[in-house]
Amino acid sequence: MILFRTLERRIAVVFVGLLVVVMLLMLLIVARSGEAIIATESERQLSAGARNVGNLIDRDRRQLELAASVLSGDFSFREAIATQDRATVLSVLRNHGSRIGARVMMVLSLRGEVIVDTQRPGKPPRPFPFGDLLRAAENNGRSGDVALMEDGLLYEIVVVPILAPMRTAWVVMGFPVEDAWASEFARGSGLDVSVVATGGIRASSLSPTLRGALERQQSTALSEQPRQLTLEGRNYHAVALPFGPQARVLLLHSLEHSEAVFRELEHALEIVAGAGIALFVIGSFGLARRIAGPVNALARAAQRIEAGDYSQAVAVTAPDEIGQLAAGFENMRSGIASREHKIMRLAYEDTLTGLPNRTRLTEHLAGLDPEAAAMVAVLDLDRFAPINDALGHPVGDRVLQQVGTRLADLMPPRGKLARLWGDEFAFVIEDADELSARDFAAQLLAALREPIELDGQKLDVSGSLGIAFRPGDGRDMDALLRRAELAMYSAKRRQCGYALAGEVGDGPPPEQLSMIGEMRQALDRREFVLYYQPKLAFASNRIVGAEALLRWQHPERGLVPPGLFIPFAEQTGFIREITPWLLGEVAAQATAWRERGISVVLSANLSARDLLNPKLVTLMRELLAAHELPPAALCLEITESALMEDPTLALSHLAELAAIGLKLSIDDYGAGQASLSYVKSLPVHELKIDQSFIGSLATSPKDAAIVRSTITLGHALGLTVVAEGIEGEADLHWLAAAGCDIGQGYFIARPMAAAAFADWLSVREGVPAV
Amino acid sequence: MADRAGHQTGRLTLRLILTALVLALACAADAASVTVRVRTPAGTTVEDAAVVLDPASGVPPKSRRSATIEQRGRDFVPYLSIVQKGTAIDFPNRDPFKHHVYSFSPAKVFEIKLYAGKPANPVVFDQTGVVALGCNIHDWMEAYVLVVDTPWFAKTGADGVVRIDRVPAGAYRLRLWHPRQKAAVADIGIELRGATRHLDLVLDVAPRIIVAKPPLDAGGY
């Protein structure tokens, strides 16, 4: 019900409803008792009036009888009657009748014959039609009653004797019962008097209209028990009195007067009730409003809080229960507000720098017009890991904070900066084209090169920037960030400061994207396996080591060649997930073989990312400790290009790895631009000549010369020189003759699964070396 | 009043005796007496019942006599008078105020207008029949005169008994009448032969309605 939807209405409706019910009951009771009182009073008045009328009629009849008796006692009257002279008698009757208002005058013989009749003069004698009346007169001396006479009219008839002095005749006198008669009794009794005889109203004090109405209802009205009837819309109480054998007197008492009194009372009560209800409506709504108002205010506050608006404080108005509730609400609101603020900060803010995080940046970009041009840039600090490692994380954190502040100061008004993770920042600038992007990138990198002062110490910081444009390089944040990140890596590799995504290509094609998923599955399903390719020491003709090579045993595609997925894994960074697994496997394998007396140094390949990963050193330490391996049992092979990505950081990491005692090897030497002076500075133990040189030893004297001088140079630097890709016996002999320390290649052995390797080794070790 | 009535009756009886003596001298022998006791069907005695003996044949002798009906104490005294046709009745007024005696009876219509003392002329009742007497100014006053054509009649006393003596032997019609009789009774034929004849007769009579007289000192009369 709408009526009860609000507390205010519910309170008011209940109060007012109760009052209305009470008032209605009161009015009902008053109306009921009023009706009862009216009925009782009216009946009382009616019965009193009826007694009165009965008495009046009796008295009237006695008076008529008396008058008749007086008349009949008149001497001259008696004398005239005694003379039996009909003409005289007739005129005497008429004369004397008129004296007392009798319309009918008759003389009866003692035998009951009408001798003279003023209404029918000259008619022969006939029997008197009212024998009962005559007999009553004979018994009582005289009689009187009401009867219809031959003229159809109702008469009060009186029969009295003519005494001379004994009874000699009877005189009958008739007095018409007419409206005047009824009106006289009505005046005397205060009731309306009507006389009904043989189905018609003979006389009445009523107006013609009411008389007509009564005529129609006389059957109900003619009861000797009082009853109520309505004439022309007015209420009456009616009672009938017997009036002679043929007639009845019908008495009506109008309820109008009594009803009017009660109607006035009822009106007064209705006014009082109406006024009371009106006052109550105002009062209850006022009260309800005072109760419900604060509650409604609380409800609105709750709705605001529900809608996420915590800004408006809940007003505490009164010290009552609702006030307490409001205070509770206010505490709740401020609690929720501060918690939500905290959550928002956690969700959208980088706690270290106070900058927005990646999520916030993504939302910011999503909130921009998707068609509008924007640039998304990713900035990665160069050589941050060594700072972190050398100076500790607190310093690293402060560096990041300062960089963040510096970048934030550089942001144009329509730019948004965020810290993605680690030392990687990103920002979005609206309406940026390539030109302005280049300008801004240059400006930013220049600003970044300003040394950072920490506790009086100056630190050089630089970064690499990758820039992608919307919509040219993608529309959503993920795509744009990836493109920008790829560009950033490219810039870092090339040490050119910044790169645009459009210049470095699209990154991996879609089938490669699906490959990332497959690789992740492969890792989980242990589809990756390690094959081991033996390393032969020329001097001793013994297998001194083995290189662990990653193979992918795909359930559908079979063995996936490493060249098909490893570069991709390196490019996408997935290698970061594979390497820890690979290192763990290698360490476990080394341990297993050592326990079986197979003591070969196992080499694992590290990508640039692996090498730059600040956690690598820790990981290696943990692995050695976990397997209780001597560090020299493992060798990490790093390509020349991986070193060149971030030479400084690479050097720092290599130094640490070397400090642990691990063997380090420069892989694919000669393919990159690494200078010997740079190699000289590296704490490595081994130099692996790129296999492209080995494959063409027999055909290219230049390559053979390079190999020969590399071996010489390596030895000069105190490094073990390894040749890989040895596919023929001639090459093997050539290399052994050239002083190369270790060889590796198909001619010696293909890479083998661990078990096969162990078998192969046990067979070979029994065979004398070449 | 009863004494006076008795005295009145006594004088009448004396006259009758004188008449009887005359008759006895004339017709030597056997005269008879008749006694009649009149009762109502309920057995109560009936006073003022007239017993009249009409001779079956012959002309009854006439006795010239007079009678008096007084008005005394606002009543007629006696209530019933039986007279032979031709009797003159005096209506002396013994009250200190006037009376107005009238009769509308066909046997004798007369009126003695307001008078005091003794009216100048007595009223002669010369027709047989019943004459009802009233007083115009005292409605309750009533008296009856039974006018008969025979000398042999009498009315019952308070004991309801009437005695008629010296009735010559012969055939008679005995007539019984009362002013308030409810129905007329048929005459009875009887033969009288010297002895005393006794009859018990029944007559239904309405009780006399004694109307209370207004007090004399109330004034207005």
Angstrom distances, CA of residue A26 to CA of A19, A34, A716 = 10, 12, 125
| Arithmetic mean of pLDDT, B172-193 | 91
Q: Which of residues A768 and A69 earns the better pLDDT score?
A: A69
pLDDT at A630 over 80: yes
Same domain flag for A545 and A467 = no
Amino acid letter, A72: S
| A78/B104 CB distance under 8 A | yes
| Sequence-ordered list of residues with C-beta below 8 angstroms from that of A120, at least 6 positions apart, any chain | A150
Same domain flag for A554 and A595 = yes
Q: How many CB atoms lie within 10 A of CB A637?
A: 22
Interface probe, candidates B103, B104, B109, B113, chain A, greatest A C-beta count within 10 A: B104
Q: Which of residues A659 and A294 earns the better pLDDT score?
A: A659
pLDDT at B28 over 80: no
A182 token code pair: 């009824």
Q: What's residue A321's pLDDT? A: 82
Nearest by CB: A168 against B104, B141, B142:
B104
Region of A244 on the Ramachandran plot (φ > 0 left; ψ -120 to 50 alpha; else beta): left
pLDDT digits (tens, 9 = 90+) for A42-101: 888 888 888 888 888 888 888 888 888 888 888 888 888 777 777 888 888 888 888 888
The answer to whether A429 and A375 are in contact (CB under 8 A) is yes
In a domain, A688, yes or no: yes
Q: What's residue A558's pLDDT? A: 80
Phi, psi of A386 (to 5 degrees): -60, -35
Give the whole-angstrom CA distance, residue B174 versus residue B203: 14
Give the helix/strand (H/E) hosting B61. Answer: none
In a domain, A150, yes or no: yes
Same domain flag for A573 and A649 = yes
pLDDT digits (tens, 9 = 90+) for A732-747: 999 999 999 999 999 9
Same domain flag for A480 and A578 = no
Q: Name A636's bridge partners.
A: A604, A664
| B134/A163 CB distance under 8 A | yes
Residue closest to A736 by CA, chosen among A546, A543, A536, A545: A536
pLDDT digits (tens, 9 = 90+) for A455-506: 888 888 888 999 999 888 888 888 888 889 888 888 887 778 888 888 776 6
| A163/B105 CB distance under 8 A | no
Give the whole-angstrom CA distance, residue A58 versus residue A671: 157
Lowest-confidence region among A189-203, A235-249, A402-416, B25-39: B25-39
In a domain, A572, yes or no: yes
pLDDT digits (tens, 9 = 90+) for A520-542: 888 888 889 999 999 999 999 99
Confidence class for position B147, pLDDT limits 50, 70, 90 = very high
Q: Report the CATH number that the domain containing residue A387 is assigned in CATH.
A: 3.30.70.270
Omega before A508 cis (within 30°)?
A: no
Same domain flag for A442 and A490 = yes
| B132/A166 CB distance under 8 A | yes
| Arithmetic mean of pLDDT, A386-413 | 87
The answer to whether A259 and A235 are in contact (CB under 8 A) is yes
In a domain, A90, yes or no: yes
| Sequence-ordered list of residues with C-beta below 8 angstroms from that of A244, at least 6 positions apart, any chain | A145, A146, A147
- The two beta strands, A424-430 and A374-382, are antiparallel
pLDDT at A617 over 70: yes
- Per the document, the length of chain B is 221
Amino acid letter, A614: P
Q: How many CB atoms lie within 10 A of CB A232?
A: 11
Query: Which residues on B lie below 8 Å from A75 (Cβ)?
Result: 100, 102, 136
Q: What's residue A475's pLDDT? A: 81
Same domain flag for A759 and A715 = yes
In a domain, A353, yes or no: no
What percent of chain A has pLDDT above 70? 96
Give the whole-angstrom CA distance, residue A55 versus residue B11: 56
| Arithmetic mean of pLDDT, A153-164 | 88
Same domain flag for A492 and A516 = no
Q: Which of residues A750 and A518 earns the better pLDDT score?
A: A750
Give the whole-angstrom CA distance, residue A370 versus residue A697: 58
B206 touches chain A (CB under 8 A): no
| Arithmetic mean of pLDDT, B70-96 | 92
Same domain flag for A499 and A522 = no
Phi, psi of A625 (to 5 degrees): -65, -45
| A165/B133 CB distance under 8 A | yes
B96 token code pair: 């200190």
Amino acid letter, A394: P
Same domain flag for A524 and A445 = no
In a domain, A30, yes or no: no
The answer to whether A727 and A745 are in contact (CB under 8 A) is yes
Domains by residue range for chain B, with CATH:
2-205 (2.60.40.420)
Q: What's residue A248's pLDDT? A: 87
- Mean per-residue pLDDT over chain A, rounded: 85
Same domain flag for A650 and A603 = yes
B204 touches chain A (CB under 8 A): no
Q: Report the CATH number that the domain containing residue A627 is assigned in CATH.
A: 3.20.20.450
Q: Please tell me chain A's helix, strand, coil percentages from 3-state DSSP, rounded to the nearest 5.
A: 55, 25, 25
pLDDT at A665 over 90: yes
| A73/B139 CB distance under 8 A | yes
Query: Which residues on A lie below 8 Å from B104 (Cβ)?
Result: 78-79, 82, 164, 168
pLDDT at B63 over 90: no
- Convert A12-34 to b/e letters by CB count within 10 Å (16 or more is b): bbebbeebbeebeeebeebeeeb
Q: What domain range is A697 assigned to?
A: 511-764
Amino acid letter, A70: V
Q: Name B111's bridge partners.
A: B102
Q: Which of A114, A149, A176 is the last residue of a domain?
A: A176
Same domain flag for A460 and A545 = no
Confidence class for position A674, pLDDT limits 50, 70, 90 = low
Task: Enumerate the H helices of A120-178 as residue ranges.
Answer: 131-140
Q: Which of A155, A176, A197 is the last residue of a domain?
A: A176
pLDDT digits (tens, 9 = 90+) for A10-49: 877 888 888 889 888 988 888 888 888 888 888 888 888 8
Lowest-confidence region among A7-16, A534-543, A703-712, B197-206: A7-16
| Sequence-ordered list of residues with C-beta below 8 angstroms from that of A558, at least 6 positions apart, any chain | none
pLDDT digits (tens, 9 = 90+) for A292-323: 777 888 888 888 888 878 788 877 777 788 78
Lowest-confidence region among A105-119, A145-159, A273-287, A563-577: A563-577
Q: What's residue A8's pLDDT? A: 77
Q: Report the CATH number that the domain containing residue A101 is assigned in CATH.
A: 3.30.450.20
Residue closest to A611 by CA, chosen among A585, A650, A553: A650
Same domain flag for A530 and A611 = yes
pLDDT winner (highest mean) among A101-105, A375-379, A570-574, B192-196: A375-379
Q: What's residue B220's pLDDT? A: 42
In a domain, A389, yes or no: yes
Give the whole-angstrom CA distance, residue B192 versus residue B34: 8
Confidence class for position B20, pLDDT limits 50, 70, 90 = low
Interface probe, candidates A70, A107, A140, A163, chain B, greatest B C-beta count within 10 A: A163
| Arithmetic mean of pLDDT, A633-654 | 85
Give the helix/strand (H/E) hosting A642. Answer: helix A640-645
Q: How many domains does chain A have?
A: 3
Q: Which of A115, A145, A176 is the last residue of a domain?
A: A176
| B179/A168 CB distance under 8 A | no
Name the 3-class secondary structure at B58: coil
In a domain, A42, yes or no: no
Q: What's residue B219's pLDDT? A: 47
